[in-house]
Chains A and B, each alone.
Chain A
């Protein structure tokens, strides 16, 4: 019922915009934030270190903190400094519908910006780049995808990584068995228990799971980079004023060096809850994006 009332509020806000003739006034999401004094942030519970929960309704992570800063900047801009952030848990399955129907104003998780999703939602400037690779047991001797003939490959249900494997599989004539874990922790357990020989996923998720394993030295991230995916914050489509505000806030942080500091804090230092260090220096692609920010979808990266 709450969702419906939010939706109705959004519709009424939309009607209000249509009625106001002044071009100076705030529109869309910005107006909604100013009028209600709050913003609903959609976030994830197990996408460490981008967005995850510490329990008790507390969310944290690189993208959560980034969004808090963005919202802070926007709040000052629209002269609503005391904007309250409401955190809402979203999943891979519901994040786009919730953004579309107005329940969530800005989604700060681990969403890949791709062409199909751009038809349904808008993305901010790319703030993280992930590479899809595989984790294997260190003593397995597997170093390339071509060695996976006849092996089992696990990936997590509801992610796009395995699509790249299929394309690669067909091109290289490798035949492997696809199995699916119900979440990242489950997929990693399948690798650990020997039911799977390789776990194919975004490198930051692999690193996060390995860092939390009983013996992190038993696992390595290896093999070809299957795809490069730009990860960004997501919000409603057709709201250019809000997009401009978000992008300007991100651009400001990129220019001031604040984004690099934020990156170092989440990827190269100990992070809660276990004080593990992922130790993942920033890749060349993201460095290039900080120099020349853009919001191009994944498909553009494949062409390079």
Chain B
């Protein structure tokens, strides 16, 4: 089948005085903003919960387990709808919040459950002797975590975190469902308005690849600098 390309479609006016090129760039910006903000939420919440799951107190461990199971067992799209439609109806304080903030929470907490698991695995991969040595030196539990365990654990879990950082960019596409003007929404809307679906989807795909791959490169650089000699992947 012969296909007639029409890339000039991006220079066309969408009716409101901006071109589709300007629109796709703004949509890219939304995708990156949602991803970046959700990543910060996910990293903070995930590190905290992952750490709590390893402390020697039953209550904290249970709370951490509950968090992980709650956010890991509900499909992401359902979580987004819960944040958008259900939470504001039940908690009045959320009513005035823009959709962007709600999506950042939804995506951030969803990813935090996965990061928590990785952080926990990182901490538990350390020999028990390290924790004991810290306590034998007279450090309190928070001090042991701060100066002995976490600096090692975080360096070990950088490779799985790379995958999560790339996933969050791809997962941000579900934000279209609650009217965030990001790349997927742009693709669905612009292909219909212009009837040049193949060009529009190719452009959007390229932008997703560029974004995810850039994150991959940045994380690879961080990984190379933080590698712990003598541990997984640190043999070089």
Contacts and interface: CB of A to CB of B under 8 A. Distances in A.
A93 B191 CA distance: 7
A255 interface: no
A139 B151 CA distance: 60
Chain B binding surface, main DSSP class: helix
B15 interface: yes
Contacts of A120: 195
A260 interface: no
A120 B16 CA distance: 26
Contacts of B99: 179
A179 B179 contact: yes
B61 interface: no
Contacts of B195: 96, 116-117, 120
Interface in B158-187: 176-177, 179, 181, 185
B189 interface: yes
Contact of A163 (B17, B179, B181, B193): B193
A69 interface: no
Interface string A77-95: 0000000000000001100
A100 B1 contact: yes
B177 A182 contact: yes
A162 B179 CA distance: 14
Interface residues of B, number: 21
Contacts of A164: 15
Interface residues of A, number: 30
B204 to A, nearest CB: 13
Contacts of B89: 193
A166 B192 CA distance: 15
Contacts of A169: 16
The interface centre, meaning the residue of A100, A158, A178, A181 with most chain B CB atoms within 10 A of its CB, is A158
B15 A97 contact: no
B172 to A, nearest CB: 15
A244 interface: no
Contact of B188 (A96, A97, A158, A163): A158
A214 to B, nearest CB: 15
15 contacts: A96-B197, A116-B194, A116-B195, A157-B176, A158-B188, A158-B191, A159-B192, A162-B189, A163-B14, A163-B15, A166-B17, A170-B17, A179-B179, A182-B176, A182-B177
Interface of A: 92-93, 96-97, 100-101, 116-117, 120, 154, 157-160, 162-164, 166-167, 169-170, 178-182, 186, 189-190, 193
The 8 closest A-B pairs by CB, nearest first: A166-B16, A166-B15, A179-B179, A163-B15, A116-B195, A158-B192, A167-B15, A157-B188
